[in-house]
Amino acid sequence: MARIALLPAGSVSHEAAVHLLGDKHELVHYKLISDVFTSTANGDTDYSVIPIENTIEGSVNLHMDWLVHEVDLPIQAEWVYPSIQNIVGRKQEIQGDWTTVKRVLSHPVAMAQCTQFLRKYLPHAEQEHVSSTSEAIRMVKNHSEEGWVAIGTRLGAATHQLDVLEPNVTDHDNNFTRFILVGQSPVTSAVESAAKTTMLVTLPEDFPGALHQVLAAFSWRRINLSRIESRPTKRQLGSYYFYIDVELSLDSILLPSAIEEIEALGCQVRVLGSYPSYSSKSWALEQPHNLEV
């Protein structure tokens, strides 16, 4: 059994963590993503669950920057989980009649993802923005008799003993959030996964074509990049580093030689993790994955 640090009970992070890890681990919830990271860095927990793409739970760039500047925790796994939002409240109060709803609470981005449903069924309801979907559900629990409902996760509803009044009210079905699991020990799993390595490449100086030379090292080896992103180094304006994800394990022969070549160009390369990546296709959403950690 591992101790897993993550955002509050009922958050998308919580649903995604249960989905990857099953229910056999001890989940330790924190309000702030910085506290999540810190607990694992200090050894209070074994792993952190961090939303890193398409997320309504904080700033993506900030999370990656923490991983680079504040803590030294390798990425051990990656997975995607759908952002499914639901109308959450108390069935006995609302009774299937949307006109009785006075107020809808949620995180601003979650609310923006459900614009069509809100326009069609709840145009009369007042919209109130709170800091997270789990906070919205927590607040609705104490005010359900006043016609309050929340937009949030199914697990959030269960956590606070509320009902899902309408499932999946998001405008688009293709909202996925990407999560990473960071910690000191590798994970194992019987489920099919793709290999992935995340690197931080700092160019020696800001000269035209430097990035092109770095990518050539991958290109002629036919190594596929699945993400590239430039970020300011914060040391000086106009100085950048790059996150690069490649679809290859560090154990392969090709990748270490590509890294050597990039370092020979005068670049610094820091490997942030070499890990299994679980796609949404490789496992059923209904079934927790029970990753061994």
Question: Which positions touch a copy of itself (CB under 8 A)?
Answer: 31-34, 53-56, 58-62, 107-109, 111-112, 115, 127, 129-132, 135, 172, 174, 206, 208-209, 211-212, 215-216, 218-220, 222-230, 234, 237-238, 240, 242, 279-281
| Residue in 144, 192, 193 with CA at minimum distance from that of residue 165 | 144
* Residue 199 in tokens: 């690197």
At its nearest, how many Å lie between a copy of itself and the CB of residue 2?
25
Helix (H, G, I), strand (E, B) or coil at 70: coil
At its nearest, how many Å lie between a copy of itself and the CB of residue 217?
9
At its nearest, how many Å lie between a copy of itself and the CB of residue 175?
9
At its nearest, how many Å lie between a copy of itself and the CB of residue 224?
5
At its nearest, how many Å lie between a copy of itself and the CB of residue 234?
5
Which residue, 130 or 293, is less far from a copy of itself as judged by CB? 130
Checking phi first, is residue 273 left (phi over 0); if not, alpha (psi -120 to 50) or beta?
Answer: left
Give, as one character, the DSSP assignment of residue 292: B
Residue with tokens 């490789």: 282
At its nearest, how many Å lie between a copy of itself and the CB of residue 96?
28
**Phi and psi angles of residue 209, each rounded to the nearest 5 degrees, phi first:** 90, -5
Dihedral of CA 227/58/174/290: which sign? Answer: positive
Which residue, 94 or 203, is less far from a copy of itself as judged by CB? 203
Which residue, 210 or 293, is less far from a copy of itself as judged by CB? 210
Which residue, 46 or 135, is less far from a copy of itself as judged by CB? 135
Checking phi first, is residue 10 left (phi over 0); if not, alpha (psi -120 to 50) or beta?
Answer: left
Which residue, 133 or 274, is less far from a copy of itself as judged by CB? 133
Specify whether the CB–CB gap between 61 and 231 falls below 8 A: yes
Pairing of strands 176-183, 75-82: antiparallel
Which residue, 58 or 152, is less far from a copy of itself as judged by CB? 58
